Structure formats: structure tokens, C-alpha cells
Amino acid sequence: MEDVRVLTGMISLTYQWVLSSTDARFFDELKNKKIMGTKCPECGRVLVPARKFCPRCFVDTTEWVEVSDEGIIETSTLVGEKLQFEGQPIKPPYGLAIIKLDGADVGLSHFIGGIDFSDPEKAMEKMKPGMRVKAVWSEERRGKITDIQYFKPLE
């Protein structure tokens, strides 16, 4: 068998996602500092971000529910300075977490901010599972997930 020769490169792709009416309402409500979920009529879970159907029960969600902009960290990680990638909305270092907002039954993925990241160990102490966080909203909101700048630890 011949040796396979390869060239390594990088490509940049612009994506567009078509929003469902459920997605559109979820993003529009962020302009009013409201985080909305939808409730599954079968299992009763409140899904955030709002979803058109429950991925567990495969039935359409039927009810809109406003959840709190506070919640608890379920899991988190720290993105270090050397991890830069195209399209990254904020510069490292920063925290990323799965956050279960009060009133929701599933976690929302978002940034952790408003803490000192210069000492990674100290920063991780502030974003441990179970710690409470609150949304820090952008002054100017445009109906995007970045209308929430980040979640700030309350302790």
C-alpha cells in the first residue's frame, strides 16, 4: 500500500440556522430579560432553552414557562488563554458552565464571568457544581443568547 500524503489546512464556514417559532420566541423574550422554557405535557419537565418538542417523550411541548435568571452550576470548565478559536464571542480566559435555572429541569450552557480568572484554581473554586449564579444582562439586547453576557457567581 502506498503512503498517503496529506495537506493540513483550515477552513472557515459561515452557518445559518433557521429558527422555529419556538426558538424565535425564546430569543425575542431575552430582549425583555425573560428566560423562557417550554413544558412537556408527558414528563412535566421545563426545557430551557425552550424547545418545540420534548426529546425524551417525542411529544410537542404545550406551555410556556418563565424561569428565573438565577440558578445553580451543574458542571463547569475553564477555557484558558491558549484556546482561541474563530468566532469565539469573548476572549479567554473565561468559564463555561451548564446552569440549571430555578424553575427549569434541564441545564443551559453559558459563560461564567465577573470573577478573576488569573488564578485558575481560585476561579474554579467560584464555579463549582452547586454554586449559585445570576445572569448579567447586556445593556443593549438584540434577541440573541449573548443578551446574557454571562452568569456571575453569587457566593
Which of 30, 35, 40, 46 lies at the binding interface for Zn ion (CB under 5 A)?
40
Binding to Zn ion by residue 50, rule CB under 5 A? no
CA distance 138 to 143: 11
Q: Are 138 and 147 in contact (CB under 8 A)?
A: yes
Minimum CB distance to Zn ion, residue 38 (Å): 10
Sheet bearing 63-67, strands edge to edge: 46-47, 35-39, 63-67
Minimum CB distance to Zn ion, residue 131 (Å): 28
Binding to Zn ion by residue 46, rule CB under 5 A? no
The residues that bridge with 109 in the sheet, in sequence order, are 98
Q: Which is nearer to Zn ion, 54 or 135 (CB)?
A: 54
CA distance 142 to 138: 9
Query: Residues binding Zn ion: what is the number (CB under 5 A)?
Result: 6
Please give the residue ranges that form the binding site for Zn ion (CB under 5 A). 40, 42-43, 54, 56-57
